[in-house]
Amino acid sequence: MPSLAELQQQFREAVITGEVQRAAPAALIGGHEPSKRLAVHARNYETSLVEALLVKFPATGWLIGTPFLREAARRFVHEHPPQGPCIAEYGAAFSNFLSNLLRARLPYIRDFSELEWHVGQVAIAVNSPSVDAGEFSTIDAARLPDITLILQPGLRYLDSEWPVDDLLKLYLTETVLDRFELTRARAWIEVRGARGEFHLNRLDRGEFTFRKSISHGRSIGDAAEHALDVNSKFDPGQALAGLIAAGLITAINRGQSKEED
């Protein structure tokens, strides 16, 4: 008799691969051919996760066709089972998976679907109260470069070789065109949202680099250096004022930076 762990390993193989006849454990009970009932669990697994992905990527379905998206999702769930029980967190790797399937035909598919993933994530965020300019006035100017900031949770940054935000706006506005050609052009996109809403903002490269660095836990000084590396005309003071004015800062951390990049 197999141990419970061995039995569950066999079940796992049958349900996740979907090959229930090959992988079904022996000595099951249920109908004349019990192994065939294992297909119910395999179907529940596949269907629930495929449907979850379809709900998260409707614009991607619009772009590549829902039947193709469904088939890609079906393959994805068998190759990449969830690593946790919160299905809202499942699908972050789907953009790369789609890119591997479609890169030759749609070189922007990874960025487009990643943008859609980010939109879905920020739309379920909740804004925190923002820090106002007065709180910065209490900080010694010499120490400002060492300070890190906590930004709103509903913020994501996407550096794309393609203007995928324009493409997403076509979907969102239900624009019908006879023909649309996406021309390669780099786009630095900020996705901001909370409580069911979102906005897509284009930034210049310096401001994008600054904000993304800050969001990754780098200090103000470090983030400014990064921004100046990509844009010599970058103005750190103006960029910091922009963050404050937009209500994107939720806390000032006077300790060391996290250096998460």
Partner 1 sequence: MTSISHHPGVGLRLPHLAEMVVTRPTAGWLEVHPENFLANPHAAELLTELSAHYPISLHTVGISVGSATGIDCLHLKRIRDFADRINPILVSGHLAWSAYKNEYINDLLPLPYTEEALRIVSAHVNQVQDGLGRPYLIENPASYLGFQSSTMRETDFLSELVQRTACQLLCDVSNVVVSAHNMDFDPYQYIDDFPAGAVREVHLGGYTPEADEATPSAELWIDTHAAPIAEPSWDLYVYALRRFGPRPTLIEWDNQLPSLPALMNEAAYANKIALEVGHAFAR
Contacts to partner 1 by CB under 8 A: 1, 3-5, 7-9, 11-12, 15-16, 27-41, 44-45, 48-49, 81-89, 123-126, 153, 194-196
Q: What's the CA gap between 169 and 165, in Å, rounded?
A: 6
Neighbours of 55 (CB within 10 A): 12
Q: How far is the CB of 195 from partner 1 (least distance, A)?
A: 5
Residue 202, classed as helix, strand or coil, is strand
Q: What's the CA gap between 242 and 33, in Å, rounded?
A: 67
Q: Given the complex with partner 1, which of 97 and 108 has the nearer CB atom?
A: 97
Q: How far is the CB of 43 from partner 1 (least distance, A)?
A: 9
Q: Given the complex with partner 1, which of 124 and 170 has the nearer CB atom?
A: 124
Report whether 261 contacts 218 (CB < 8 A).
yes
Q: Given the complex with partner 1, which of 154 and 236 has the nearer CB atom?
A: 154
Q: Given the complex with partner 1, which of 123 and 144 has the nearer CB atom?
A: 123
Contacting residues for 107 by C-beta, under 8 A, at least 6 apart: 161, 162
Q: How far is the CB of 38 from partner 1 (least distance, A)?
A: 7
Q: How far is the CB of 152 from partner 1 (least distance, A)?
A: 11
Contacting residues for 207 by C-beta, under 8 A, at least 6 apart: 188, 227, 234, 239, 242
Q: Given the complex with partner 1, which of 16 and 230 has the nearer CB atom?
A: 16
Neighbours of 41 (CB within 10 A): 13
Residue 201, classed as helix, strand or coil, is strand
Q: How far is the CB of 235 from partner 1 (least distance, A)?
A: 33
Q: How far is the CB of 39 from partner 1 (least distance, A)?
A: 6
Q: Given the complex with partner 1, which of 35 and 130 has the nearer CB atom?
A: 35
Q: Please give the angle made by the CA atoms of 207, 115 and 91, to the nearest 5 degrees.
A: 130
